[in-house]
Amino acid sequence: MTDARPATAAATVPCPFCALGCDDLSPVLNGARLRFSAPDCPILDAAAAAADAALSAPAAPRVGGAPASLEAACAAAAGLLGGARAPLVSGLAADLAGIRAALRLARALGATVDHAHGDALRRNLAVFQSDGWMTASLGEVRNRCDLLVVLGAGLFRRLPRLAGRVLRPAERLDGGAGPALVILDPAAPETLPEAVRALAPELLPVPVARAGEALGLLRALLAGRPVMADGAGGAGRAALATLLARLRAARYPVIAWSAAEFGFPHADLALEQAAGLVRSLNETGRAALLPLGAGDADASAHQACAWHSGFSLPTALAGGRAVYDPYLNRGDRLLAAGEADALLWLSCLRPDPAPPESPVPTVAVGHPGLRLAAEPAVFIPVGVPGIDHAGLIHRGDGLATLGLRRLRDNPWPTAAAVLERILGLIPAREEN
């Protein structure tokens, strides 16, 4: 259960704005200005600034670009979505209650559901479904990992406090200082965040698009197979052999990535190499993966959809049954192919992700400052979870649920309340 009262300045609250789920933040409310007494985090700072800006000029519901009452906007949304033959419900960047309300609405509509970062979510799921994997939690990495291999330096931009919170925590269960760090990325050291540079990481010049090559060579060397190549993925054979020796000598090595960084065709095949390498290392020791997505509540969307339908995203809910298809049901594909005739976009954590530009009529339920490339048919602003109302959200590793707090008074309803109101205005459909 979460606390519906505004938090005081002395309270410690969790953050829902990236997959790391930091729970050590102390909010400070000075009038309408909200700040957090925590180490610098650009994602948190931007989210707090956007929340401040939204409250300084509160947005109201709009229908066709004109101001409307909440009741009129919900009625317009219900008419648009209820009259669609193949609606799409996507975005799903919300707290757990908002996501579950969107799924209930999608079932009533016979809609297809997806997430704004569905492609990243599917890359990880493809590896899990095809080969299986052995994974660690963020807590295990914090307390036990002694060698962390990161595929792509972009992970540190997506999780700005990863270095301080996980790799060099104030305390570890094993009493150590934290893991040694190896980053597969051609980035220059000076381009890394200062907190990461302080860890003296080793950089191997392997871009994420070629990580599968480097990992494949590591697997071949580990299996004792003859390897004629002088290197792979941009790294020399000697450097990769040294990395393999470190992996074999470590007590608990972990390979981590954000699937959002692997935006190229068949990226799941590269990630399968990481899963295979860890599986082989576990034959004589202990190793694990830390597969992360893109954030924006993608872990909560995955969990909630599995509870409601038995499948992850994307899933079609037409005809009273759930059909999972990671290609045909992709939200972007449905919109591009003209196979969806209405879009409900839910995004209330930050001003992004915004609804995609599309000719189909769009109902946007989201952050009061949601960045809209075009005016949707209906826009209903809602409160920000963890700032404007309490709620629950999953951490990026999917293994912890964070209880969000309401930090201030505000004029907006929750996403769950709005979606339930829209659902109540849609007549029941006859199942085929």
pLDDT, one tens digit per residue, over 84-105 is 999 999 999 999 999 999 999 9
At the fourth CATH level, the homologous superfamily of domain 120-292 is Dimethylsulfoxide Reductase, domain 2 (3.40.228.10)
Average pLDDT, the chain: 93
For residues 347 and 24, the model is more confident at: 347
Distance between CA atoms of residues 361 and 377, nearest Å: 6
Residue 67 burial by Cβ neighbours in a 10 Å radius (0-12, 13-18, 19+) = exposed
101 φ/ψ angles, rounded to the nearest 5 degrees: -65, -40
- Count the Cβ atoms, other than its own, within 10 Å of residue 408: 20
Q: Which CATH class is domain 27-117+296-424?
A: alpha beta
**Which residues have C-beta within 8 Å of that of residue 205, sequence separation ≥ 6?**
185, 186, 234, 235
Is 432 a residue whose pLDDT tops 50?
Answer: no
- Strand-pairing partners, residue 342, are 87
pTM attached to this predicted model: 0.94
Distance CA 274, CA 277 (A): 5
Question: What's the CA gap between 212 and 32, in Å, rounded?
Answer: 49
Q: Dig out the tokens for 381 from the structure.
A: 């602003």
Tens digit of pLDDT for each residue in 155-205? 999 999 999 999 998 888 888 889 999 999 999 999 999 999 999 999 999
pLDDT tier at 5, thresholds 50, 70, 90: low
Closest CA to 141 of 396, 404, 403: 396
Q: What residues contact 377, with CB distance under 8 A and at least 6 apart?
A: 63, 64, 76, 80, 361, 362, 363
Q: Judging by DSSP bridges, how do beta strands 378-381 and 62-63 pair with one another? A: antiparallel
The residues spanned by each domain of the chain are 27-117+296-424, 120-292
pLDDT higher for 118 or 1? 118
The phi-psi region of residue 419 (left if phi > 0; otherwise alpha if psi is between -120 and 50; otherwise beta) is alpha
